[in-house]
Amino acid sequence: MNGVDALTVRDLRSGYGSYDILQGVSLRVGQGERVGVFGPNGHGKTTLLNTISGIVRAGAGAISFMGKDITRADAATIVERGLIHVPQANLLFPAMEIQETLELAAYTRRAREQRGASLERVYGLFPRLKERRTQLCRTLSGGERQMLAIGVGLMCRPNMLLLDEPTLGLSPKLKDELAAAIDSISRSGVPLLLVEQDISFILSLVDRMYLIDHGEVAQEIVRGSEIDHQEIMRMYFGTAQVAR
Amino acid sequence: MSADAFSAMLVSGLVLGSLYAMMASGLSLVWTTLGIFNFAHGVFMALGAYIAWSVSDAAGLGLWLGAGIAVSVAAMAGVGILVERLVIRPFYGERDMLLITVMATLAVMMFLEKGIQLVWGPRLKQLRPIVEGKASILGITISAHEVLIVFLTPAVLFCLWAFLRWTRAGRGIRAVGQNPDAARLIGIRVSTMFALTFALSAVLAGLTGILLGSIRLMTPTLGSEPLMKAFIIVIVGGLGSVGGTVAAAYLIGLAEAVLLTFVGMYWSPSILFIGLVALLLVRPEGLFGRSAR
């Protein structure tokens, strides 16, 4: 599939009810690329991911995955194609056990065929989940829940991952652990679209980044370009949070 | 109280509890998965019994009762899927889905009750018992059919439990009930799971109807009183827990038998209800429920 982007989004408008939260977003993610989406809360980052994964219907514009149009596809079809969305603060299935949840997550035929191998990989990446495999999801800590959410994403056999704020509410140590896990997943060739609020986390992982503002792409930043950490903070929060 | 009288009470409690458990588990499954109460659940019970009657009774096709049960189970699965498609699915995601579906399922109830009356006429009917004759249980001799109810129900409920616990579709149903969006994001088709839940639930209601149809006389409203009981059982057991529903069904069956023995037919229902209201005052989430669905 050389030459075809993993994901392209063109002039996407969508939202809830009659109000468009996304006011025409365009972005692309190349094969094997890791791309970030950064921006203030309430400016459409989560809506963007929900629309790509078919949870929210696109009002206008086009989304294509591996060269095929998925703008009007339903969520199940998109999962079958291997475009996997790991939502923000995912509570998963409170009354299900961890292992049960992981096994269920290999739901599509494609994923089921590789279930054993996927499970081994998830447990290798997050040994803590293996220790707690008979615990109910609702008993997990924030960090474990995030690991499980990513584990569930891996069980789906992703050809691409959409991650929504995987570090929300985690301690610095857990953030590092998670960053290492995400890094290792993407190195296996899975392109990433990572939505984050934590600017250093996002900069440590991505090759390229889009700044979203009021439901539009305000700027595209390529790693190593002149815009740096301080300037991004200044653009969004008025002042730089870290003194130079 | 003599040992015999005690056993008699226990056995009648078990028979009642079994019927309640079979009936209420289906209702509970629909609540847990879709978050709606199905008021047509009682008429599903009647319909299941009538279909089995038509296939097996001499006045109908006159086939073996087993054939009647098989046809009825298949038909009820179809009815469940059809009702979900026609009157539940159009309202997915509506803010007032709970209220709308109360009305929609009440309409289905009336439609099917009148439909049964129209098709099968007003004459009272009765199914043959699945097994003839008498049998002894705990030293008490009752009809073999009632003994069958006592043993068949746990078997059916075990199958339901195993299905929900171990199969892909069963786990899918539970996942959809606990978090529909997360379920969609792993590729589960929520509407398919809803239809399947309705089918299962209708089959459970139909089976209850078949079991009851040889103890009582069949009328189109055969299921309305059991439905009322089943609602109470689901609430008392704790909304959102099929296991809690089953436990509550047996508890209430036994409590009813005790009340019938000591208080009699006349006052038992009111005392039972007062007791359950008192229970809900102390534990609003029900016996085995958690505060959230």
pLDDT, average across residues A215-222: 80
Chain A residues touching residue B174 (CB < 8 angstroms)? 93, 95-96
Residue A59 has pLDDT above 90, yes or no: no
Q: Does A136 touch chain B (CB under 8 A)?
A: no
pLDDT, average across residues A233-241: 58
Instruction: Return mean pLDDT, chain A.
Output: 87
Inter-chain Cβ pairs, chain A and chain B, closer than 8 A: 63
The band of A10, judged by pLDDT with boundaries at 50, 70 and 90, is very high
Q: Does A218 touch chain B (CB under 8 A)?
A: no
Q: Do residue B182 and residue A87 have CB atoms under 8 angstroms apart?
A: yes
Chain A residues touching residue B181 (CB < 8 angstroms)? 55, 87
Q: Do residue A75 and residue B187 have CB atoms under 8 angstroms apart?
A: yes
A156, closest residue in chain B (CA to CA): B186
Task: Supply the pLDDT for residue B104.
Answer: 95
Q: Does A122 touch chain B (CB under 8 A)?
A: no
pTM: 0.89
What is the distance in angstroms between the Cα of B171 and the nearest Cα belonging to chain A? 7
Sign of the dihedral through C-alpha B277, B283, B288, B292: positive
Best probe of the A interface among B186, B191, B288, by most A CBs < 10 A, is B186
The band of B284, judged by pLDDT with boundaries at 50, 70 and 90, is confident
pLDDT, average across residues B100-124: 94
pLDDT, average across residues A23-49: 89
Chain A residues touching residue B288 (CB < 8 angstroms)? none
Task: Supply the pLDDT for residue A86.
Answer: 95
pLDDT, average across residues B184-203: 96
Domain spans of chain A, in order of start: 1-79+198-244
Q: Does A179 touch chain B (CB under 8 A)?
A: no
pLDDT, average across residues B62-83: 93
What is the distance in angstroms between the Cα of A53 and the nearest Cα belonging to chain B? 7
Q: Do residue B184 and residue A55 have CB atoms under 8 angstroms apart?
A: yes
What is the distance in angstroms between the Cα of B159 and the nearest Cα belonging to chain A? 18
Kindly report the three-state secondary structure assignment for every residue of chain A. Answer: CCCCCCEEEEEEEEEECCEEEEEEEEEEECCCCEEEEECCCCCCHHHHHHHHCCCCCEEEEEEEECCEECCCCCHHHHHHHCEEEECCCCCCCCCCEHHHHHHHHCCCHHHHCCHHHHHHHHHHHCHHHHHCCCCEHHHCCHHHHHHHHHHHHHHCCCCEEEEECCCCCCCHHHHHHHHHHHHHHHHCCCCEEEEECCHHHHHHHCCEEEEEECCEEEEEEECCCCCCHHHHHHHHHCCCCCCC
Task: Supply the pLDDT for residue A227.
Answer: 60
Percent of chain A exceeding pLDDT 70 equals 91
Task: Supply the pLDDT for residue A16.
Answer: 78
ipTM of the complex: 0.88
The band of B241, judged by pLDDT with boundaries at 50, 70 and 90, is confident
Task: Supply the pLDDT for residue B74.
Answer: 97
Task: Supply the pLDDT for residue B63.
Answer: 81
Task: Supply the pLDDT for residue A83.
Answer: 96
pLDDT, average across residues B26-53: 95
Chain B residues touching residue A74 (CB < 8 angstroms)? 189
Residue A224 has pLDDT above 80, yes or no: no
Domain spans of chain B, in order of start: 3-282
Tell me the per-residue pLDDT of A90-140, one tens digit each, with 9 for 90 and over.
779 999 999 999 999 999 999 999 999 999 999 999 999 999 999 999 999
Percent of chain A exceeding pLDDT 90 equals 56
pLDDT, average across residues B273-289: 87
Looking at per-residue confidence, does B210 or A15 come out higher?
A: B210
Q: What is the CATH number of domain B3-282?
A: 1.10.3470
Percent of chain B exceeding pLDDT 70 equals 99
In angstroms, rounded to a whole number, what is the distance separating the alpha carbons of residues B248 and B195?
Answer: 26
The band of A229, judged by pLDDT with boundaries at 50, 70 and 90, is low
Please tell us whether the domain made up of A1-79+198-244 is placed in CATH 3.40.50.970: no
pLDDT, average across residues A39-54: 88
Best probe of the B interface among A16, A53, A81, A93, by most B CBs < 10 A, is A93
Q: Do residue B179 and residue A53 have CB atoms under 8 angstroms apart?
A: no
Task: Supply the pLDDT for residue A242.
Answer: 46
What is the distance in angstroms between the Cα of A11 and the nearest Cα belonging to chain B? 24
